[in-house]
Structure 1
């Protein structure tokens, strides 16, 4: 050892309280695109339970049926189609969607919800003013209320549904691509014309 190396060694041992080596234990971990070990259904049920606790929304639907409503919504099904698959009416599906902050673009696509929200007139007066049914005004107000409730929660629950149902096909596809890329790299340059 030359003088400089010996000097560096002395500095090192004084800094490390006299230990000659410094090691950190390592842990074998496997990478994953999915950090949460629960299934998608379990995670959806957890989100729905949180919403029940926070908002206390009343519904006769079970958690499984609410999950089916959310999945149908993300699959692009109409309320009627979701209702048929579960065996309930479309209005119950609509109520469940709003309770879970799952608002579709066509729920109030022809109406300015800010205007409806700000009006103090009755549903009948607004229906007459805008030339629509009273039931439509009532529906638009419910959509506006659900949007307000979602915004008050910073769209947290909607974002959780988006990440679980909106991107699930993307994460599955990414996991498949990673596996395929790994196999491709491992077999690159190997002779594959083998006869048995």
Structure 2
């Protein structure tokens, strides 16, 4: 794996590292790339933050082809994001993933920026309005804990939970449940300090786990 000093971008070295990696993998398993080219069959859709310190496959100890991934700043799952919805639809309908993991991380720059009223970052600020909406909805709970890292960490967790339920509210997921497809949504948070993933204990595996006003007719069997 290529490692570069902070601020250095040696793309030729990246390409050289890629060739070395491919050669090493081929030596260990001559059929690896041939098998990989034949198609993907991941069981997990990972929806995480774009932060470069949180590489999904690496922190999960998984190989190429074992994790379908979508990432954005602060791992937000708004109903209006057609890019996200296209990923979820493909993962659920075509790949038949069995698990959707919404994965945040403590120390998230997006979450921290959303908590700072003095931040003005153009399009990023517009995007982080989703996180600010979560803060507003849970203001009393959040402001009951000390400001700074404790409050930011709680917002990271609450933001993950909100995104998970947003996914459960989509017709894509609810129609899958209605036809008997196994799909479970989970909420995890990664700790940068030690590399450990915290399971928030959230499991949404059917329409019975969401409020009635969010259930589609198909999910209710109507």
With the length of structure 2 as denominator, give the TM-score of the two structures: 0.23
Structure with greater proportional strand content: 2
Structure of higher CA gyration radius: 1
Structure with greater proportional helix content: 1
